[in-house]
Amino acid sequence: MKRIAVINQKGGVGKTTTTVNLGAALAFHGQRALLLDLDPQANMTVHVDKRPDLESNTLTNLLIDDTPLGELVQKTAMDNLFVVPSDTSLAGVEQVLANRIGRETILRRALDKAKAEDDYDFVLFDCPPSLGVLSANALVAADYVVIPMQAEYLSLQGMAKLLEVIDLVQSQLNPNLQIACVLPCMLDSRTNLSAEVLSEIEEHFGPLLTEARIRNNVKLAEAPSFGRSIFEHAPDSNGAKDYAAFALEFMQKVGLEVDPALLADDEEEEYEYEEEEDDEVEVEGVEEDAADDDEDVTEEVVAEDEDVAEDDEDTSEADIEADEVMEDEVAEAEVVQAKEAPEEPLDDPELIERADEPPASAEAEAEI
Ligand code: ATP
Ligand code: MG
C-alpha cells in the first residue's frame, strides 16, 4: 500500500483536481486506489459524486471515533477507485483532538490496522489548504508527497514553510516520507511569467519538478460538477492528456512498471496551449443538473477564494519570513525557525515541542 499526500497549504492550486485524476488514472491502470478526503470543504467528495451532507460515515468517524477504515470506504463509479468521503464536521476535528496524545498519528494507525481486504495499492490524501492537524496526519501517514503548484510568483511564498514542516515530520515522526514530485498546475504559457516562475521552481526543486505540465483546461474545471474524473468527463481533452502523462511519470517515480508502449505515446505529446476548449461533451440527462451544479460550484469557488484571501492575510507575515528562509537555503531551514512563526497552525508550540521530544513520538508509536 503506497500512501500519497497531495499537499500545499496554498489554496486553489489544484490539489483536489490532482488527487481525483491521479487516483482515477491509477485505477484505470488496474491499481486499486482509495481516495481520502482530508479537507472539510469536501470538494473531493463532491468531485467523485458523493453528497457530503448525506453521507453518514465520513473521515471524521475514523479520526474521532476510531471507526475502522473498512466501514467508511465507498465505491465510486469507476472500477478500482474507492473513497472515504468527508463533510464539514471535519472542521471541528482539530479542536476535538487538541489535547489528545498522538493526534498526528491517528490516520497512520488506522491505515496500519486496515484489514487485508482493505489493502489498496494506493491511498491518496487530499489535504486542506492549511498546515494543521489534518495535514499533519496526512504527512505522518504518507510515504510520498505530491506538491501541486501554480506558476505564479506568490506560489513560491510559503513553500519554505511547507518544506520545513515536511522536514520536521521526516525527522521526528515519519522517516519514510519522501517528496515524490512538484507538479505545475493550471499553466498558461501565454504569459512570460509562467516560464519565468517555472524556471525558478526548477532551480529550487531540480529533478523533483515533473516533466508533466497540467495546462489550464476548462474541462478540468467542469468535471467536478459532473461528479466525474477528467477521463470520464472529457477523455480527449488536454486535461485528460496532461493527467494521463503525469500519472505515468508518477508511477515510474514510485517504482511501478509502466508499459513501454504507453510511454512512447506519451513522448509524442506536444504541449499546445489553448485559449479555451469549447467542444461540449454531451452527458445524457444531466445537462440541467450540471447547470445548477455549475452555479453551486461558482458560489463555492467564490466562498473558497474569500477563505483563501483571509488565510493569506493571516499568514502573510509568516510567508514573508518563510520566503527569506528560502533565499537562505530552503532545505536547511531549521525547526527553530518554525517556532518563531506563531501564525502558522503547525507551529503550535505543543506540536513542535512534542515533535522535538523523542519520548512523545515513542509514546505514539507504542500505541500502534
Ligand atoms: P483548495 O485549496 O481550496 O482545496 P485545491 O488546491 O484543491 O483548492 P482545486 O480545487 O483542485 O484546488 O482547483 C481549484 C479550482 O480550479 C477548481 O474549481 C478546479 O476545478 C479548477 N482547476 C483545477 N485545475 C485546473 C486546470 N488545470 N485548469 C482549469 N481549472 C482548473
Ligand atoms: Mg481542495
pLDDT in the model for residue 264: 66
* Ligand 1: centre distance to CA 187 (Å): 12
Ligand 1 site residues (CB inside 6 A) read 11-17, 39, 41, 43, 129, 185-186, 214, 216-217, 220-221, 224, 301, 304
* Closest-CA residue to 94 (of 136, 127, 34, 123): 136
pLDDT in the model for residue 298: 38
Q: DSSP of 115-155, one letter per residue?
A: -GGG--SEEEEE--SS-SHHHHHHHHH-SEEEEEEESSHHH
**Which ligand has the nearest atom to the CA of 229?**
1
CA distances (Å), origin 208, targets 33, 178, 201, 332:
23, 11, 10, 17
pLDDT in tens, 75-129: 999 999 999 999 999 999 988 998 899 999 999 999 999 877 778 999 999 999 9
CA distances (Å), origin 60, targets 63, 74, 126, 139, 357:
5, 15, 14, 17, 28
How many angstroms separate the CA atoms of 345 and 280, rounded? 43
* Ligand 2: centre distance to CA 187 (Å): 17
**Which ligand has the nearest atom to the CA of 146?**
1
**Residue with CA at minimum distance from ligand 1 atom 19:** 221
**Which ligand has the nearest atom to the CA of 8?**
1
Q: Each residue of 120-141: b (16+ CB within 10 Å) or e?
A: bbbbbbbbbbbbbbbbbbbbbb
Q: Which residue has the cell 492528456?
A: 241
Burial class of residue 98 (count of CB atoms within 10 Å of its CB; 0-12, 13-18, 19+): exposed
Let me know: does 13 contact 149? Beta carbons within 8 Å. Answer: yes
pLDDT in tens, 8-41: 999 999 999 999 999 999 999 999 999 999 999 9
Domain boundaries in the chain?
A: 2-367
List, in sequence order, every beta strand (DSSP E) within 186-297.
none
What is the grid cell recorded at 185? Answer: 498546475
- Judged against a pLDDT cut of 80, whether residue 272 lies above it is answered with no
pLDDT in tens, 228-269: 999 999 999 999 999 999 999 999 999 988 877 777 665 555
* Ligand 2: centre distance to CA 80 (Å): 22
* Ligand 1: centre distance to CA 197 (Å): 19
**Residue with CA at minimum distance from ligand 1 atom 21:** 221
The architecture (CATH level 2) of 2-367 comes to 3-Layer(aba) Sandwich (3.40)
pLDDT in tens, 293-302: 444 433 443 3
What is the grid cell recorded at 64? Answer: 474521532
How many angstroms separate the CA atoms of 306 and 291, rounded? 23
The residue whose CB lies within 8 Å of the most ligand 1 atoms, and thus the one to mutate among 16, 134, 213, is 16
* Ligand 2: centre distance to CA 331 (Å): 26
pLDDT in tens, 45-66: 999 999 987 778 999 999 999 9
CA distances (Å), origin 223, targets 6, 219, 220, 323:
19, 6, 5, 34
Please indicate whether residue 320 or residue 273 has the higher confidence score (pLDDT): 273
Residue 135's pLDDT band, with cuts at 50, 70 and 90, is very high
pLDDT in the model for residue 91: 93
Percentage of residues of the chain with pLDDT beyond 70: 71
Longest dimension (CA), the chain: 59
Ligand 1 atom nearest the C-alpha of 218 is 29
**Residue with CA at minimum distance from ligand 1 atom 30:** 221
pLDDT in the model for residue 188: 86
**Residue with CA at minimum distance from ligand 1 atom 2:** 11
Q: Sign of dihedral through CA atoms 332, 335, 341, 343?
A: positive
Please indicate whether residue 358 or residue 121 has the higher confidence score (pLDDT): 121
What is the dihedral angle through the alpha carbons of 41, 222, 126, 212, rounded to the nearest 10 degrees? Answer: -150
How many angstroms separate the CA atoms of 157 and 10, rounded? 9
**Which ligand has the nearest atom to the CA of 311?**
1
Apex 300 CA angle, 189 and 343, nearest 5: 80
* Ligand 2: centre distance to CA 302 (Å): 14
